[in-house]
A = this chain, B = another copy of it.
Amino acid sequence: MAGDRSADSGRRGSTRRRFLLGGAVAGIGAATAIGADHVLNRRPAEGEPAAPLNGEETVPFHGVHQAGVATPAQAHAVLVALDLRDSTDADALRRMMRILSDDAARLTQGVPALADSEPELAVTPARLTVTFGFGPGLVDRAGGTRPEWLRALPDFGVDRLRPEFSDGDLLIQVAADDPMTVAHAVRMLLKDTRGFASVRWTQRGFHHAHGSVRPGTTMRNLFGQIDGTTNPQPGTEEFERLVWNTEGWLAGGTGMVVRRIHMDLEGWDRLDRPGREQSVGRYLSNGAPLTGTDEFDEPDFEATTPIGFPVIPEFSHVRRARSDDPNEKIFRRAYNYDDPPSGSEISNSGLLFVSFQADVDRQFVPLQRRLDELDLLNEWTVPIGSAVFAIPPGCAEDGYVGDTLLG
């Protein structure tokens, strides 16, 4: 890992393509004099459109906050949780986070990692973001102050947690609109961690492809439900208040909850459409509450049927998820998963639930308690993995993610 890791990673714009090649050459020492268009593997022009490709879009890595939280969700994500080796002390953590931050800064800008073994796979950033999270074990190892909520969630009655999808010391969330980009970035970053940590779990998720549906369309999960209608919108005061922590080394950071929620598609199949809509409290067709006509209509929990029952059932998901306290709210950034079934499973599908909130205990836990008690959807969903991480703030170009804790 010798070499100048600080240079260049902040460059942008018109010099990017030339730099790309510079990065490739520096990274792997190839003594070629091949031009950048060759590295990018372009065919000759032939009236090639001048419009930038989706794959060329970049999201800044450096800043007040880490990218990958407020960033509009990309089509593909891989979440990797690692366990620290016994020998990884605070000094080693510092080295690891410097190396990881530097390579993440490069890769997100379409620049090969410093020791990139396949630099040609690094040139399609496709809105790549890399987001690092610290588990309780890492903060302890660093000798830092651990926020009270940074620990395993309380037990919920619905949970059937499996260790292979739970907990971890270091979280790396890699997301981009191109699955090749994600695969390459995960590989490069995991190589950086090898001396310091080992992989505990890997989870993959997806949304609609970039450009497949209109921007701003709320995602659907694999039950066909519109999922996330009431999410706070990045850029609003509400989002800022709910998501970003303001205390100590975590100021500008946030708390992250990851839950792997198995969805019983076979059981759901046996439920008819009105039954499904009652269990959610929304129409499947467009996500409107059962008391409304448009997805973004406010649900009317007082409305009753002619014979006096609530139109939106008491036990429906939308009712149980709602609090009167405007601070008991989270920002969701979930992905669908659909992995190959194993054994006698017919499907292995569900939701890779991800939420960000400044304080997990005050925002996530009460909401999950209400859902745990009475949410009708519990019939067809089972949490099988759970983890909590502190997401440190972003870093400056001469810093690294975690420097407010480790620096």
Contacts and interface: CB of A to CB of B under 8 A. Distances in A.
Interface of A: 28-30, 32, 34, 38-39, 41-43, 48, 53-55, 75-76, 117-121, 124, 126, 177-181, 183-184, 187, 190-191, 199, 201-204, 206-214, 216-218, 220, 222-224, 226, 265, 268-269, 273, 283-288, 295, 336, 338-341, 346-347, 349
A211 B54 contact: yes
The 9 tightest CB contacts between A and B, nearest first, are A118-B224, A55-B212, A38-B286, A178-B209, A179-B206, A183-B338, A202-B340, A54-B211, A178-B212
**Prevailing SS type, chain A contact patch:** loop
A406 to B, nearest CB: 26
Contacts of A120: 220, 224, 284-285
B32 A285 contact: yes
A56 B191 CA distance: 39
A29 B30 CA distance: 63
Contacts of A126: 209, 212
16 contacts: A30-B284, A30-B285, A41-B295, A48-B214, A55-B212, A55-B213, A117-B268, A118-B222, A118-B224, A121-B220, A178-B208, A179-B206, A190-B346, A204-B340, A210-B211, A339-B340
B285 A209 contact: no
A187 to B, nearest CB: 7
A285 to B, nearest CB: 5
Given A42-B214, A43-B214, A183-B336, 7 more contacts: A41-B287, A118-B224, A120-B220, A183-B338, A184-B222, A187-B265, A211-B211
A340 B205 CA distance: 12
A209 B38 contact: no
